[in-house]
Amino acid sequence: MDFEVKSDEITFKGYLEYHKGKLILLKANLVGLLEKPCDTCAEEFKMSVNEEVEFFISDGIYEDENGIELDVVESFDGVVFIEDLLASEIELIKSDYHACDNCKSSDEEL
Ligand SMILES: [Zn+2]
């Protein structure tokens, strides 16, 4: 199942693949521009984003034949889930250290 979700200038596009049991594999690309304050000068700037996201979703608690629990998300509600995921990925990227182009180039001079 393909999906495509947009948030401002970010496109989150990928597919869901159903595996045995209740596992769903989500593979997607997060591409676009993200506006955030520079971590050096606090000036708003747009950074380009290109992230690959891949993980398993379980519809219910998942245990494999050996009783090993995988690192999975345990609730799945289609589009709502994907939109939530996009929002949390954006938050994750924003929380990393990112400097604007001005600060980046002065970093390189040091
Ligand atoms: Zn800056």
Task: State pLDDT tens for residues 46-92.
Answer: 999 999 998 887 766 656 666 655 555 555 666 677 888 899 999 99
> What are the Cα distances from residue 104, in Å, to 24, 40, 44, 57?
39, 9, 14, 37
> What are the Cα distances from residue 21, in Å, to 24, 39, 56?
9, 44, 12
Which residues lie across from 10 on neighbouring strands? 7, 32
- What letter represents residue 61's amino acid? I
The secondary structure of the chain in percent helix, strand, coil, rounded to multiples of 5, reads 25, 40, 35
CA of 98 to the centre of ligand 1 (A): 9
Q: Place 22 in a pLDDT band, splitting at 50, 70 and 90.
A: confident
| Contact status, residue 51 vs residue 33, Cβ threshold 8 Å | no
CA of 95 to the centre of ligand 1 (A): 15
CA of 38 to the centre of ligand 1 (A): 5
Q: What is the pTM of this model?
A: 0.73
Average pLDDT over every residue of 13-30: 87
